[in-house]
């Protein structure tokens, strides 16, 4: 089968934690420009799957290929520099820096690469980076809070800021681990709109979500994970109609 536009290919991945088979025989292809949702009950292995993709965990066996390059064995910063950014399930932010600084740092990573001894120029003089960060904050609705310490934001705002930190890098692949958890309905809807907007720019996304409203408004494809295995995948309609999924996960929550 010709698969010219597969951006991320997870091939035969297994992950064991001692006796626990957290991921079993995962085979997943994410296509360019699509939003691919991964759903499944708590403990299904969704976060573990993302951890394997970004190099936080090494798979017990199998490989992850991104755009022709094998990711397994690469360092987290190398994987990011290839164009993969991630929003974590528990926000990973710079709590004691300001919101603006939080967003400027990833912009610098994008511009300067993994390491650059940029000692003598002042950060304040980097007006393009600053303007870019401010625009990004405007997009996620945090511009008014740019001088606040990131640690004092609410949980929902932290997630939005973390999303901004990823988006400013214009990654080719964005991995989102429950991006709307802890948000109000209103903020969730704003985030959905934002994610739809990026989609129109052609960014590929993998999104883990419990909120079915979010999943069905965004996803082009859905994979259902249960006990470390993919039990179904396909378009939202196919998945919705799949009796196995109804039984394992959706139950009666979605009509």
Partner 1 sequence: MNALLMSRRDAVTLAIFALVVLTMPVWLQPFGAAYPGLMQKFAIYAIFAIGFNILFGLTGYLSFGHAAFLGVGSYTAVWSFKLLTMDALPAIAFAIILSGLLAVVIGYLSLRRSGIYFSILTLAFAQMCYNLAYSVLTPITNGETSLQLNLRDPRIIDSALAPRPAGLPSAGLFGHTFTGLEGFYFCAAALLIAFFIAQKIFASPFGMMLRGIKSNQTRMNYTGFNTRPYALSAFVISGMYAGLAGALLAVTDPLAGAERMQWTASGEVVLMTILGGVGTLIGPVLGAWIIKYFENIFSAFNEQIVSRFFDFLPAGAHEVVTAVASKFVGEGWNLTLGLVFVLIVVFLPGGIMEGVRRIAHLFDKSRRAPKAPAKLSTQPAE
Ligand X SMILES: Nc1ncnc2c1ncn2[C@@H]1O[C@H](COP(=O)(O)OP(=O)(O)OP(=O)(O)O)[C@@H](O)[C@H]1O
Q: And the tokens for 26?
A: 């995962």
Quick one: which of 48, 169, 191, 223 contacts ligand X (CB under 6 A)? 48
String of b and e for 13-49 (b: at least 16 CB within 10 Å)?
bbbeeeeebbbbebebbbeebbbbbbbbeeebbbbbb
Best CA proximity match to 223, nearest among 188, 248, 200, 203: 248
18 to 47: interface string for ligand X, x by CB under 6 A: --x-x-----------------x-xxxxxx
CA distances from 43 to 22, 160, 203 (A): 8, 24, 28
Q: How many residues in total does the chain contain?
A: 255
Quick one: which of 72, 89, 98, 189 contacts Mg ion (CB under 5 A)? 89
Q: Which of residues 76-95 bind partner 1 (CB under 8 A)?
A: 76-77, 80-81, 85-86, 88, 92-95
Q: Residue 110, interface with partner 1 (CB under 8 A)?
A: yes
Question: In the complex, what is the shortest distance from the CB of residue 155 to ligand X, in angstroms, rounded to a whole number?
Answer: 15
Question: In the complex, what is the shortest distance from the CB of residue 105 to partner 1, in angstroms, rounded to a whole number?
Answer: 5
Q: Residue 60, interface with ligand X (CB under 6 A)?
A: no
CA distances from 42 to 160, 226, 236 (A): 23, 9, 20
Residue 16 CA to residue 2 CA, distance in Å, equals 31
Q: Which of residues 60-79 bind partner 1 (CB under 8 A)?
A: 75-77
Q: Residue 180, interface with Mg ion (CB under 5 A)?
A: no
Quick one: which of 29, 34, 47, 242 contacts Mg ion (CB under 5 A)? 47
Applying CB under 8 A, the residues found at the interface with partner 1 are: 54, 56, 75-77, 80-81, 85-86, 88, 92-97, 101, 104-106, 108-110, 112-126, 144, 165, 169
């Amino acid at each position: 089968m010709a698969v010219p536009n597969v951006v991320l290919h997870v091939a035969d991945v297994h992950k064991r934690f001692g006796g626990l088979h957290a991921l079993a025989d995962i085979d997943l292809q994410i296509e360019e420009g699509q939003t691919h949702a991964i759903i499944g009950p708590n403990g299904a292995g969704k976060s573990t799957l993302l951890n394997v993709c970004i190099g936080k965990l090494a798979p017990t066996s199998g490989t992850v290929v991104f755009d022709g390059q094998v990711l397994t064995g690469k360092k987290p910063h190398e994987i990011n520099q290839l164009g993969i950014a991630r929003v974590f399930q528990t926000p990973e932010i710079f709590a004691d820096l300001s919101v603006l600084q939080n967003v400027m740092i990833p912009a610098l990573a994008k511009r300067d690469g993994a390491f650059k001894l940029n000692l003598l120029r002042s950060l304040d003089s980097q007006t393009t980076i600053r303007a870019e960060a401010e625009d990004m904050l405007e997009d996620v609705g945090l511009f008014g809070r740019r001088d606040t310490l990131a640690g004092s934001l609410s949980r929902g705002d932290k997630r939005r800021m973390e999303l901004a930190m990823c988006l400013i890098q214009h990654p080719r692949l964005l991995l989102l681990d429950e991006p709307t958890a802890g948000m109000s309905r209103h903020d969730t809807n704003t985030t959905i709109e934002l994610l739809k907007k990026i989609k129109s720019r052609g960014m590929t996304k993998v999104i883990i979500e419990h909120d079915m409203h979010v999943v069905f408004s965004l996803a082009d494809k859905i994979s259902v994970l249960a006990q470390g295995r993919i039990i179904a995948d396909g378009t939202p309609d196919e998945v919705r109609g799949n009796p196995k999924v109804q039984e394992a996960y959706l139950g009666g929550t979605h009509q």
